[in-house]
Chain A
Amino acid sequence: MTRDGHEVAVRVRGLRKAFGAKTVLDGIDLEVRRGEFFALLGPSGTGKTTLLRLLAGLERPDAGTVLTAPRVTTVYQEPRLVVARRVLANVTLGLPRPTRGSSRGSSRDRGVRALAEVGLGGRERAWPATLSGGEAQRVALARALVRDPQVLLLDEPFAALDALTRLQAQDLVAELCARHRPAVVLVTHDVDEAVRLADRVAVLDGGAFVVDRAIELPRPRGASSAASDPAALEHRRELLARLGVSPPSGQAVVPSDQVAPPSDQVAPPSDRDDPPSDRADLPADRGVIA
């Protein structure tokens, strides 16, 4: 650990994970520091989500070590809100309850602040079912941030949003990460999203990183500046090529917000690429908690 706030918050060494005969991750090494935004790209089924679940403690490695700072939170592709509880109760889920003598309702205050931070001030008493997709995902973001995470895991959090809402949500995440400075690991199918948000982008293929590249572009990266910057376009072209998508020769790569949004995604957003999600830590015949 260094004193300048750049301590390592994620350290993975020689990580191997297999499901049955299929080796999904084979000898992964990864370090992510506080304040660093790491994006992970890869075709479907390459184990991006598996890596994230290993970091979250939802899977066990077959070999190697996975170390993280103690406070790890996740935002998933779906908001995963408890529909039977109001928005604020969802945000403060599991936070320490106010004890007698301490400042009453401090968890509550933190929840209210987190909701205001994601632009949902005043919606504390709303039911999750009344929120739009973007709003629900912002609640999920507030629920992650209210815990002051040292490691923030983002599992395709924008995939289910419409193109416009997605851009707004990306800006919000960039802003919040710059302010709270967690170590971020973002799993995505969207090359533009990775280039726009990340300090570092890696491509996972065949169980290993085939690209691990720093993205040194000025911030903040607005939707149009990130798309028109020549350096960004170069990153984009290279990453797409590594993902097996190359533009027709002699034709400029068109930024994603000028074409139909899903067209440059490597695969449709879905959680099909995480074989473990069906075999999560809760086999169907076991109890919900134990």
Chain B
Amino acid sequence: MTAEIASDAGAVTRRPAAEAAGELRPPPWLGQRRRRPAVSLALRLSVPLALLVAWWWAAGSGRIPPDVLTGPGAVLSALRELASTGQLADYVLASARRAALGVLVGCGAGLVLGAAAGLSALGEELIDLTLQMKRAVPFLALVPLFISWFGVGETFKVALIAVAASAPMYAYVYLGVRGVDRKVVEAARGFGLRGARLAVSVVLPSALPSVLMALRISLAVSLTGLIAAEQLGATEGIGYLVTLAQQYYRNDYMVLCILIYALLGLLIDLAIRGVERLATPWRGQVTAR
């Protein structure tokens, strides 16, 4: 009888009397609790909203001076100002174009190299050490060298983002390919699959979750590359806006840029989640078995 059981499910203690009587009870629920999506969304949004409210209140009541952190109102008007001149759209588009091109080149190279190193012993011998060394070099250390090669134009910016994005892509694809169940690969080889066919029909599909994970991280890293690239020789872009804000000491622009980056990161993450759902439909079909 449930009335005899302490309501705290974490520690199901029964009264000795009930135990002695051999009383039955429903098993304590060990399954996962499922929240309704609306509740879940509300919980997710609650902390960012609380932070926003705290910021609003702190700035409005003068507890934080405006030259330390301007209030949301000032940031909003900065946003309105930029949006009305069309600069905001131009800047975001310029940044997105650079990032997309850099990510495309960098992730493409990382994917091919990671797959080659993961799939074949020869590839690993030829590629891995070099790329491990490259990975040890922070890509920001390449900035002066790249400027002397490419100048401060678009090539430099795209190249820097590409280099930044390629490293996680290579590492995760390599690990993903290595992590494919060797027993399955052995069975496939027993059915006559070799080389490219084995890679395309067995190994790469199995490694797809790792590839998507890599894409997520590469995109996040590319945002860092974007700031670094756009602080030099740019006349548009979000990174340029950061530089301007710094030069003119405009706190509202500084905060606005940070918020734009946060929003971009969030959008990228959502997009990748959508891609994951489409590209790996075999996942999430069943719960743990």
| Contact with A281, one of B180, B186, B206 (Cβ below 8 angstroms) | B186
Which residues on the A side are within 8 Å of B16 (C-beta)?
none
- Does B245 make an interface contact (CB < 8 A)? no
Q: A84-B205, A287-B118, A289-B120 are in contact. Are A282 and B191 (CB under 8 A)?
A: no
The smallest C-beta distance from A110 to any residue of chain B, in angstroms, reads 13
Partner of A84, one of B117, B123, B187, B208: B208
Question: B124: nearest residue on chain A (CB-CB)?
Answer: A287
Q: Does B282 contact A127, Cβ atoms closer than 8 Å?
A: yes
Chain B residues in contact with chain A, CB under 8 A?
117-124, 177-178, 180-188, 190-195, 197-199, 201-203, 205-206, 208, 280-283, 285-286, 289
User: 29 pairs across A/B with beta carbons < 8 Å?
Assistant: A56-B190, A57-B190, A73-B191, A78-B183, A80-B183, A80-B186, A82-B184, A82-B206, A83-B282, A84-B208, A93-B188, A93-B193, A93-B202, A94-B188, A127-B281, A128-B282, A130-B286, A280-B186, A282-B182, A286-B124, A287-B120, A287-B122, A288-B177, A288-B180, A288-B185, A289-B120, A290-B120, A290-B121, A290-B122
Q: Are A82 and B280 in contact (CB under 8 A)?
A: no
A147 within 8 Å of B by Cβ? yes
Q: Which residue of B lies closest to A147 (CB)?
A: B191
B98 to chain A, nearest CB (A): 33
Cα(A130)–Cα(B283), bound, Å:
10
A143 at the interface (CB under 8 A from B): yes
Task: Give the distance in Å from the alpha carbon of A56 to the alpha carbon of B189 in the complex.
Answer: 10
Q: In the complex, A72 Cα to B192 Cα: how many Å?
A: 10
Chain B nearest CB: distance from A113 CB in Å?
A: 17
- Complexed CA–CA distance, A85 and B120 (Å): 22
Q: Which of B120, B201, B208 is within 8 Å of A94, CB to CB? A: B201
- In the assembled complex, the Cα of A57 lies from the Cα of B192 at a distance in Å of 11
Taking the nearest CB of chain A, how far is it from the CB of B188, in angstroms?
6
Docked complex Cα distance between A287 and B120 (Å): 4
**B197 close to A94 (CB less than 8 A):** yes
Interface-centre pick from B117, B186, B202 (highest chain A CB count, 10 A): B186
Q: Which residue of B lies closest to A146 (CB)?
A: B191
Instruction: Please measure, in the bound complex, the distance between the C-alpha atom of A36 and the C-alpha atom of B240, giving whole angstroms.
Output: 78
The complex places the Cα of A47 from the Cα of B288 at a distance, in Å, of 34
Partner of A290, one of B119, B183, B202, B205: B119
Known interface pairs A58-B186, A74-B190, A129-B286. Does A287 touch B206 (Cβ–Cβ under 8 Å)?
no
**Interface range, A side:** 20 to 34
Q: How far is the CA of A85 from the CA of B180 in the complex (A)?
A: 14
**Residue of chain B at shortest CB distance from A271:** B183
Question: What are the residues of chain B within 8 A of A127 when measuring CB–CB?
Answer: 281-282, 285
Complex CA gap A73/B122 in Å reads 28
Q: In the complex, how many angstroms separate the beta carbon of B31 from the nearest chain A beta carbon?
A: 19
Q: Are B197 and A130 in contact (CB under 8 A)?
A: no
Contact A84:B206 (CB < 8 A) given known A280-B182, A282-B182: yes
Residues of A within 8 A of B283 (CB): 129
B119–A94 CB distance below 8 A: no
Residue of A nearest to B202 (CB): A82
